[in-house]
Structure 1
């Protein structure tokens, strides 16, 4: 079994990329990066959905930390990635949000192929302990597997795209309710109208208290909606001084990070790791483990509430 104490020394990590999964009807096969501990058995899984324009190569500060502490992290490259260069006028563009959701399911369907891509990994993965995580648009993508649904123009919830294989989630800077979109966002991103009423899977929602989105008419509290408007078994970590990059989660020395703060990222690493280990254990509670991790933080970098 992997070491379940996120405060212990990390283990060596190995990675393979790109691992290609056939994706009929997508127009591009799905490229995935697999990052895993070099040792250990019974390893839980995190499927990570990147933000707009990123790829399987991003989010090293999170992916490396999680893998070094016992998780197999699977990162698909979605069709909006800058690495693919798909133009805005591509006929797939209006459905890219759905292709994103399908990408996460395809990753779970392709676990045999993904395990085989890393020498020595096959047979060491615990497929009963699966989580999803994502940042920004990736957080909305991940939320659909937890039970969030997209409302149509009349406010009626659309298709249920939740996945019973997923037992927990981490939503980083996830977009809030669609009633608060700016006119531009409402016209160009009609899928950004989530309902969290049926998002019953345990999740850690992470928001920065200085995250002000040009897509919303509200302030930073917009990013707390996935916690506020969902049923119980949720925790909300609010990062003090955090903007949309939450201190720099998108990459090491990432140019798009406007609030770089390694201590803030380190707190997010510790709390998310503890939450996931707790939520994925039999009878475990992610909220209790997250609170313990936060209590060990020496500075006032964040607050945690749970329900």
Structure 2
């Protein structure tokens, strides 16, 4: 994909930690804020990290988004290795739910976020807010888009959606629960039982066609469920050869990347950026241009579907 369509990157300022109020959480909610040094009416992305990661992760994605006009806010969830929460902590079974509250609390306190970054005051567009997440973070973000966790009685569960969130990006996000889960996942992760029928907010789902997971008895198509099982305006990018890190999104030098591929990372950077631009501003043609260029490549890195 051509870099020319994305403009010149703007210098970015990052502030961490910014401490947000989180009564009853048992730990301060700390976030990292990254923003371009110039620009007005900047849209916001609240990003949920994968299991064990933190607000210091996902620099390849965050740096790109921020240097191209987004304010990116990254909470550190309780499962982060940086916090060292023991398995026997009474909050452990509720972390999936606390994660959702972390994102909601971040949106609640955008005034604190804005004030924490020198020069950012008055430059944030509170009406253009999106959520994004990778892996478990994708499930967390999906809850604000309308997905639910099936309750023990088999019902759709509590509605945790947030009308302030206008769009989402779900990266390598777990699919359906029930019979699709491996015995290990079914025994240990009761929350991994999503219902996507009410996930009506527009979203882009990104999956790798080589993402084999021990959490499911299915193959890589499990990670396309947030697209196939949800209604409304959704898009799906399937990356050829992509595994769970989608080429290396979680960091520039992280050891857990099993499919290191700079071209794949660049494609995710640009496609997600373009999608968010257009989803938050329907007059912006960025998504149409990026989608057409991606599909027209001589050697395609993947395919894009929509509904």
Question: Does TM, scored on the shorter chain, surpass 0.5?
Answer: yes
Q: Following TM superposition, by how much is the alpha carbon of 1:152 offset from its aligned partner in structure 2, in angstroms?
A: 1.5
- The 5 A counterparts of 1:99-178 are 99-178=98-177
Distance 2:293 2:81 in 1: 35
Aligned counterpart, 2:252: 252
Cα contact 1:21–1:31 (8 A) shared by 2: yes
Q: Which runs of 5+ in 1 are unaligned?
A: none
Aligned counterpart, 1:187: 187
Cα contact 1:6–1:273 (8 A) shared by 2: no
Q: Following TM superposition, by how much is the alpha carbon of 1:150 offset from its aligned partner in structure 2, in angstroms?
A: 0.6
1:53 aligns with 2:52: yes
Q: Which moved more, 1:275-284 or 1:12-21?
A: 275-284
Q: Which runs of 5+ in 2 are unaligned?
A: none
1:224 aligns with 2:224: yes
TM-score by length of 2: 0.96
Aligned counterpart, 2:214: 214
- The 5 A counterparts of 1:84-95 are 84-95=83-94
Distance 1:37 1:6 in 2: 18
Q: Following TM superposition, by how much is the alpha carbon of 1:154 offset from its aligned partner in structure 2, in angstroms?
A: 3.0
1:56-82 superposed Cα distances (whole Å, 9 cap, x missing partner): 000000000000110000000000000
Q: Following TM superposition, by how much is the alpha carbon of 1:153 offset from its aligned partner in structure 2, in angstroms?
A: 2.6
Q: Following TM superposition, by how much is the alpha carbon of 1:232 offset from its aligned partner in structure 2, in angstroms?
A: 2.2
1:199-230 superposed Cα distances (whole Å, 9 cap, x missing partner): 11110000000001100000000000000001
Distance 1:96 1:289 in 2: 39
Q: Following TM superposition, by how much is the alpha carbon of 1:295 offset from its aligned partner in structure 2, in angstroms?
A: 3.7
Cα contact 1:278–1:289 (8 A) shared by 2: no
Q: Following TM superposition, by how much is the alpha carbon of 1:291 offset from its aligned partner in structure 2, in angstroms?
A: 1.5
1:261 aligns with 2:235: no
Distance 2:285 2:150 in 1: 30
Distance 2:302 2:262 in 1: 13
Between the two proteins, the alignment pairs up a number of residues equal to 303
Check 1:9–1:196 CA distance in 2 against 1; reply closer, same or farther (3 A cut): same
3-state secondary structure, aligned to 2:32: strand
Cα contact 2:277–2:287 (8 A) shared by 1: no
3-state secondary structure, aligned to 2:192: coil
Distance 1:298 1:167 in 2: 34
Q: Following TM superposition, by how much is the alpha carbon of 1:269 offset from its aligned partner in structure 2, in angstroms?
A: 0.6
Distance 1:86 1:259 in 2: 29
3-state secondary structure, aligned to 1:167: strand
Q: Following TM superposition, by how much is the alpha carbon of 1:282 offset from its aligned partner in structure 2, in angstroms?
A: 4.2
Q: RMSD across aligned C-alpha pairs, in angstroms? A: 1.4
Q: Following TM superposition, by how much is the alpha carbon of 1:302 offset from its aligned partner in structure 2, in angstroms?
A: 1.1
Q: Following TM superposition, by how much is the alpha carbon of 1:287 offset from its aligned partner in structure 2, in angstroms?
A: 5.7
Cα contact 2:295–2:304 (8 A) shared by 1: no
Q: Following TM superposition, by how much is the alpha carbon of 1:292 offset from its aligned partner in structure 2, in angstroms?
A: 3.1
Q: Following TM superposition, by how much is the alpha carbon of 1:293 offset from its aligned partner in structure 2, in angstroms?
A: 4.7
Distance 2:284 2:102 in 1: 28
Distance 2:110 2:219 in 1: 39
Cα contact 1:53–1:81 (8 A) shared by 2: yes
Aligned counterpart, 1:30: 29
TM-score by length of 1: 0.96
1:134-190 superposed Cα distances (whole Å, 9 cap, x missing partner): 000000000000000110233211110000000000000000000201111111100
Aligned counterpart, 2:272: 272
3-state secondary structure, aligned to 1:270: helix
